Amino acid sequence: METKIKTVTLPNGLRIVFEKNKNAKTCSAVIWIASGSSYETPETAGHSHFIEHMVFKGSHKRSALDIAVEMDEIGGYLNAYTARENTCFYARMLTEHTEKALDILCDMVRNPRLDESDIELEKGVIKEEISMYEDSPEDLCADTFYRNVWKNSMLGSDILGSEATVDAVTKESLQAHLKKFYVPERIVISLSGNFDEKAALEISKSYFADLKNTGFQINPVDAKYNQHTVTVKKSVMQNQLVLGFPGVAVSDKRREAVLLMSSILGNSPSSRLFQHIREKLGLVYSIETTSVSYLKSGVFVVAMGLNEKSEEKAIGETLEIISEFSKTVTEKELARAKEQSVTSFVMELENISSHASRNGRNLLLYNREIPPEEVISNIRAVTLEDIRKTADEIFDLSAMSICVAGKVKSKKAYKEIINSANQGSN
């Protein structure tokens, strides 16, 4: 059944977006907050993520146990995550339990208890989370890459913060963060599925209508690309390696071309890098490409997991494929990438939760509804010439960065490998 998106803006500026589907038996509710690691300072790094944790520790009228029990009683699902440019809280439930679940979700986000004993307890939990990521070579390599590629901007900071910034968190610092960022102009509530629109609106109003608009609009954080060579020693069986290039922001007209480029190069089983580096030569266990885009910055990444003895050959073969890409990419590869991208997007739209998430995020970050037809049309419109031109612009081997975690060589050795590979590909 066709759905229609409706947006309600409260007098204080908070927006609520509804997409109703009367045929659905479930509902998904999402609260988006423009609070993420990129908006923090070196002193407050990790506060957005810390608050995400504290929201689940109880509100003024519900304990952490109350929240868990009440959601379990209705069979609902409740979770959250923090990113560089936003924090997202979401709930999924059967239609008949929408009002209960939405009340719990709004209560948590609007009225976190911030008990000092809970804060001290959660510091230990988050430091364990930091340790968990540091014990994962893949995560360690990725975080180190972003920290160095955007080293002069908070966009590159660790979302979790550091042990030092976590230890420095206080009830007062969390309250200050909430007061600054959890304001109506930086909040969007989104519901999708089958629900009572009037009831959902009233519940949202009851929790958020009294918030004062502070005029703190979203000001995207810029980050200048910083070329680097970084190594992290780690006693592991398999090295993790990232090659990075300057990428595109989400508003860049080349974004669809870059996404399709990524699909052709290393984002599917039929991609060039996967077929050649893994399947034909057996140099890696995993290899993939990703276009990472934010509001004003982006990077294009090639990530691989491999034995340290295979690094020189793998890097050389990868750079050869990348350097010749603009001249050798074909219409057939582009058509396949378009079909993969469109199919993946349309399949995602079959998920009610995806609708709620997408609608809220679009409104928060772009201040408008983006029709699915527009997304599909933009993908279909990319030409082979667009791909070739964009590849020439993105794949400047002289600007490439490299980050390696594991049983690493010296920085000098990696620079020599790259220089040798560049000379061979010229």
Q: Pairing mode, if any, of strands 87-94 and 77-82?
A: antiparallel
Positive or negative torsion for Cα 218, 219, 224, 229: negative
For residues 321 and 276, the answer to whether their CB atoms sit within 8 Å is: yes
β-pair type (286-293, 229-233): unpaired
Q: What residues act catalytically?
A: 52
The CA-atom distances, in angstroms, between 268 and each of 47, 265, 273, 288 are 36, 8, 9, 8
Q: Which amino acid does the sequence have at 151?
A: K
Query: Vertex 211, ends 352 and 177: CA angle to 5°?
Result: 85
The DSSP bridge partners found for residue 7 are: 17
Residue of 260, 257, 255 lying closest to 271 (CA atoms): 260
In one-letter notation, the amino acid at residue 388 is: R
**Residue 383 CA: distances (Å) to CA of 154, 258, 341, 370, 396:** 35, 12, 15, 22, 21
Sheet with 239-246, strands from edge to edge, namely 229-233, 401-406, 239-246, 298-306, 286-293
Q: Where are the beta strands (DSSP E) in 95-228?
A: 187-193
Residue with tokens 């239609």: 95
Asked if 17 and 7 touch (Cβ cutoff 8 Å), the reply is yes
CB 178 within 8 A of CB 5: no
- Count CB-CB contacts under 10 A for residue 265: 26
Residues in the chain: 426
Residue 287: which residues within 8 A CB-CB, separation 6 or more? Answer: 266, 273, 274, 277, 278, 302, 303, 304, 305, 314, 318
For 199, how many CA atoms within 13 A lie in the half-sphere containing its CB?
Answer: 12
DSSP notation for 26-79: EEEEEEEES--GGGS-TTTTTHHHHHHHHHTTBBSS-BHHHHHHHHHHTT-EEE
